[in-house]
Each structure stands twice: as structure tokens, then as C-alpha cells.
Structure 1
């Protein structure tokens, strides 16, 4: 979405709000899946103490990193793709 010097329209504010919500929800889902995949065995099976702690710690760290990376990547992609929409509905861009 292109940045303008003036005030944003309601449609632009709505698009930003939806994109932020999508970024946070998709990042939370991805983080939960990674946490479950890494720390799941420690929660399901009776593993030795150090192994269980390592899996839980790794799951938390990986989930947090993935959450941050996913959120930032979605929002940056949204910011860079703002100018690619055609100016009139039903029309394609000249480079499409």
C-alpha cells in the first residue's frame, strides 16, 4: 500500500486493519503448529527431564521467532504491493 502525505481514506484504513489482523492470526497459527511439532513429544511422552526441558525451550523460542518473522513478512509484503492494483475495477494492469 502506497504511503501518501495526506490523510488515509476509510478504505485504506480498513485494508490496513484487515492486513494486521491477518498477519497476527496467521503468525499465531504458524507459531502454534511449530510449538506443537517441537514440544509435543515432551508433552505427550515421559521423556527424561533435560530432554523435555530442551524440547519445551526450543519450541517456545522457535514459535516466538516464527511469529515475529511471519508478522513482519506479511506486513512488509502488504506495504510493497500497494501500487500493484489496477486503478479501475475490472481492468488489468498494463504489465499483467
Structure 2
């Protein structure tokens, strides 16, 4: 965003804050949907304790992995400047 040691403008700080919030909210939503998809059938169909435990555990692990991956991908893309300067416009060479 700025040179090393330089101060960020208020606009740059606001953009970082918004991007962090977006990363956390979208990651939480994705993790919740995945957890519900994996662990939900255990409760919906009344499966036994052992099977239910495996599904809930697998859902929790997968949800955590998806959460971390989503946050990392959004923040890394923002750090590289992956956002277009003019939304809706593409490079004519693409």
C-alpha cells in the first residue's frame, strides 16, 4: 500500500478493516454451511452415538480448515492488489 515505514492514509486503513471484516464473515458463513452439511444428517436421521461423533468431528475439522483457507485467500488476494481499479472493466488483451 505504501512504502516501507510510510504511514497509511485513513482510506487505506478503512479498506483493510473492511476487507478483514469481509474475510471473517464470509469464512464464518462458509464454515457454518459446511459443518451443517456434514454434521446435519447425524441429527436429522437420528444416527447412533458413534457415527454421530464421527460426523460432528469431521464437520468441525473441515469447517476449521475452510475458515482458515477462506480468510487467508481473501486477505492474500487483497494484499496483492487483486481488486480491479475500475470494477466491471477488463483489460482488452485478456
The TM tier, using the shorter chain, reads 0.7 to 0.9
The answer to whether 1:53 aligns with 2:53 is yes
The residue number in structure 2 matching 1:79 is 79
Runs of 4+ in 1 over 4 A off after TM superposition: 92-96
Task: Between the two structures, name the one with larger relative contact order (CA 8 Å, sep ≥ 6).
Answer: 1
Q: Which runs of 5+ in 1 are unaligned?
A: 87-91
Query: Structure 2, unaligned stretches of length 5 or more?
Result: none
Task: Report how many aligned residue pairs link the two structures.
Answer: 90
TM-score by length of 1: 0.82
Distance 1:27 1:83, change over 3 A: closer
Instruction: Summarize deviations over 1:34-53 as a string: whole Å, max 9, x none.
Output: 00000001122210221110
Matched, 1:13 2:16: no
Given the two structures, how large is their TM-score scaled by the length of structure 2?
0.84
Corresponding residue for residue 3 of structure 2: 4
What root-mean-square deviation, in Å, do the aligned CA atoms of Structure 1 and Structure 2 show? 2.3
